[in-house]
Amino acid sequence: MISELRTHITQVATVYIPVTDQDRALEFYVGTLGLEKRADFRYADDARWVEVAPPGATTQISLVPQREGRAAGIETGVALNTGDVDAVHADLRAGGADVDSAILRQGDPPITWAGGVLAGIPPMFRVRDPDGNSLLIAAQA
């Protein structure tokens, strides 16, 4: 039985995506996906912290250097929403981004991604960054 626990947690703040080159990743996430850069600074032993997010979003993506136990080229489990999945898919394809060849829609054969099964409800597709990290772009439900 699952018990209900009161919490003071209010939102998901940041998710991490491992990358091999933060500058190259930043260019993709800002220049190709259209996210905005929220943070880019040095700290502790000259490590670099880079965050991006869709304009107005509260959850951010941190582009963290890959290292042992945190390799790039993963199915991130990060899903981004759009009001026009067809336009985003067409724009990314025209711009040369690594996207699925077609948008997954209800009735298409399901696919597995990031440990789950996707059935095209709502319509969606995957895009891969320069390191092969995949993200899901889905129509707003």
Residues 6+ apart with CB under 8 A from 91: none
Q: What pTM does this model have?
A: 0.92
Cis peptide bond prior to 122, omega within 30° of 0: yes
In the numeric block, which tokens belong to residue 60?
């951010």
Three-class secondary structure of residue 24 per DSSP: helix
The alpha helices in the chain, defined as continuous H runs, are 22-26, 85-94
**Do residues 131 and 72 make contact, with C-beta atoms less than 8 angstroms apart?**
yes
Domain ranges for the chain, please list them. Answer: 14-139
Confidence of residue 6 (pLDDT cuts 50, 70, 90): confident
Question: In angstroms, how far is the first alpha carbon of the chain from the final one?
Answer: 30
Q: Is the pLDDT of residue 107 over 80?
A: yes
For the domain spanning 14-139, the CATH number is: 3.10.180.10
